[in-house]
Amino acid sequence: MASSTLRTEPAGAALRSLARRVHFVAGLVVAPFLLVLCLTGLVYVFSPQIHDDLYHSQLYAADPGGARRPVAEQVRAALTAHPEGRLESVITPAGVDRTARVDLSVPGLGAGQSRSVFVDPYTNYLCGELTTTRHLLPANSWLRELHSDLHLGEPGRLYAELAASWLPAIVVAGLVLLFAGRSRRRRPTVRELLVPSFRGRGWSRLRGLHGPLGLWLAIGLLAVAVGGLAMSQFAGGRADRSTDPLHAPTLVERPVPVPGPNAPDVGIDRVISASGLSGELIVTPPSGPGDVYTVVERTPGRDAVAVDPYTARVTERIGWADYPLAAKLRTLAVEFHTGTLFGLANQIVVAVLAAGLLVLILLGYRMWWVKNPYQGKWAALPPPAWRQLPRHRVLLVLAALAVLVRVVPVFGASLFVFVAVDAGINAVRGRGSTGRDQPFT
């Protein structure tokens, strides 16, 4: 009888049952990882303010005003303090009160690390130095690793990508339950969907809070998840960046003809002027004869140019218009995720999303606890739903999952584990238990 009921159940009811299964079981398992991501993300998103406090003496000029000294003099001052160093790059001041930064390669540093010397652009006074990693200040690098892998290396990156991979599935399943999770005779009103309710008691009150809050946060949570996956190791970093349309185009840096064995360099100041770029710039000198300078906008734009060191001629320019659509969307998602897309307001939005997700998770666990699973072995678990879908819908789901497995490998691998565990629960419960357990319908 149970199998007959499964075969004749309407497709809409089967979809609700499947959504309930994913939202509840997957959410219950993944929520601890999401909690950690939320807590570390709340700290990381405000890392610019943390930097300003920790490294104020290095980042800010003592007495800003007047005309700035040439950048070449700032480089010379840094190299005088570190004659053993080799110039890697120069980061121009982000504002009128900020210092310039000269990144040097010095003996004894690890891979990707530089000795960053901070120079007052008005006096060439050395304001301090720090060991940075790929242009990231020490606190930024530490907080970023804390958020992305808990300083655990590969296992930590897997945990973060696992949580980010499942968040969209949990959110979408929750939306299905919110809009179609009740009986056809009792559709939710607009007020019930949008306005959190404190009416009722116990589980009903919790649902009245959890559902509308989840709806308000849904779009933002999906955007944050996509941005996180775009930076992840397996979903975001696998493709060849030179050909992958998801990644921003990069400068080819074609070699330029060398006028002679002792050809003079036009100098970094003339290169910056010839680039036509403004704001905070990362200027990288040629690595040898025939190579070019590269100038990249760090803020506020995303342009990059290559400049001939002997003639100051721009040999290549990449602007926002040159980004493929997929790369534009990826770039915007990453910048939104890190809170750098539209400044402080972006940071506040991401912080609100993280705090909101924390509340959603705590409400979800409380809802689970109210349905006390210890009153019966599996009383609080929604019933298995995979076999309730019509065969053609199952094939569509499998096709969609195949695409997801290719695009989001960690999600695919964990999905197989999820299905195996789900099948094990089904076997333990037995066929007859599905008709009894409908607490989340």
Return d(Cα 377, Cα 373) in angstroms, integer.
Answer: 6
Cis peptide before 286 (omega within 30 of 0): no
Return d(Cα 171, Cα 52) in angstroms, integer.
Answer: 36
Q: Which residues contact 378 (CB under 8 A, 6 or more apart)?
A: 425, 428, 429, 433, 437
Return d(Cα 330, Cα 324) in angstroms, integer.
Answer: 10
**Looking at residue 182, what is its pLDDT?**
58
**Looking at residue 438, what is its pLDDT?**
42
What is the residue whose two structure tokens read 């300083």?
151
280-284, strands of its sheet edge to edge: 126-133, 113-119, 100-105, 86-91, 280-284, 293-299, 304-307, 314-318
Residue extents of the structural domains in the chain: 2-45+147-236+342-435, 60-85+97-136, 268-322
Return d(Cα 331, Cα 302) in angstroms, integer.
Answer: 10
Please report, for residues 236, 403, 421, the alpha-carbon distance to residue 399 in angstroms, rounded to integers and kept in the order given: 21, 7, 21
Q: What is the pLDDT of residues 31-88, one digit of tens each?
A: 999 999 999 999 999 999 999 999 999 999 988 888 999 999 999 999 999 999 999 9
DSSP 65: -
Return d(Cα 296, Cα 311) in angstroms, integer.
Answer: 19
Task: Find the largest Cα–Cα distance for the chain.
Answer: 90
**Looking at residue 378, what is its pLDDT?**
47
Amino acid at 413: A
Return d(Cα 151, Cα 136) in angstroms, integer.
Answer: 16
**Looking at residue 360, what is its pLDDT?**
94
Q: What is the pLDDT of residues 367-420, one digit of tens each?
A: 888 875 545 444 445 555 555 566 776 677 677 777 777 778 888 778 777 777
**Looking at residue 193, what is its pLDDT?**
78
**Looking at residue 10, what is its pLDDT?**
57
Return d(Cα 268, Cα 298) in angstroms, integer.
Answer: 17
CA 66 to chain centre: 40
Per-residue pLDDT of the chain (441 residues; tens, 9 = 90+): 344 444 445 556 767 777 887 888 778 889 999 999 999 999 999 999 999 999 999 999 988 888 999 999 999 999 999 999 999 999 999 999 999 999 999 999 988 899 999 999 999 999 999 999 999 999 999 999 999 999 998 888 888 888 998 999 899 999 988 887 555 556 677 777 777 777 777 778 888 888 899 999 999 999 999 999 888 877 765 555 555 667 778 887 778 888 877 788 999 999 999 999 988 999 999 998 889 999 999 876 789 999 999 999 999 999 999 999 988 998 999 999 999 999 999 999 999 999 999 999 999 888 888 875 545 444 445 555 555 566 776 677 677 777 777 778 888 778 777 777 766 766 776 655 544 444 333
